Amino acid sequence: MQGVAAMLDRDDREVLLREETPDDEGFVERLFASIRRGEFEALGWPESALAAFLRDQHRLQRLHYRTHYQSARFSIVERAGAPVGRLYLHLGAEEIRLIDISLIEAVRGAGLGGALIRAVMDEAGASGRRVSLHVDAGSPARRLYERLGFQAAGADSGPYVHMLWAAG
């Protein structure tokens, strides 16, 4: 991850990756809710039920990540000193697993996500590793991954597509 932070620093002096701490829990929960809320609003649930559901989903996702990726790097993305996202990576011997990348709405679509992913790809390429991830088949992020050279790999896993990128 130091390599990712160093590569970002060359391109965007305001961007910093730092280790997630317990103090970030509120930010990360709100970030999760902001990304997933649209999927469930159409159900017409009362706001209190929707908020409780999103809190629970966030808790379950967090538990899943911490259980299945115990040695992962859980980072907060900051721009100009304020948290704007998260980048979760599992650094394996043969691949870097992009577990999660999420940004607040105010910075989405401005190139920061692509810069973060390219930095991960640069680190992977420099160390002879590939990058893998899972993305919702209908997510706009899938198009970004494809533009960056990721390709679908193997059978889909439910609504998710497994994608790989390898240098060269």
CATH of the domain at 107: 3.40.630.30
Instruction: For the chain, 168 residues long, give each residue's pLDDT as a single digit of tens.
Output: 455 554 455 455 589 999 999 999 999 999 999 998 988 888 889 999 999 999 999 999 999 999 999 899 999 999 999 999 999 999 999 999 999 999 999 999 899 999 999 999 999 999 999 999 999 888 888 999 999 999 999 766 678 899 999 987
pLDDT at position 12: 54
- Counting the structural domains of the chain, the total is 1
Structural domain including 69 reads 2-165
DSSP 26-48: HHHHHHHHHHHHHHHHTT---HH
Answer whether 40's CB lies under 8 Å from 15's CB: no
pLDDT at position 139: 86
pTM for this entry: 0.89
pLDDT at position 103: 97
Which residue in the block uniquely carries the two structure tokens 């999927």?
Answer: 39
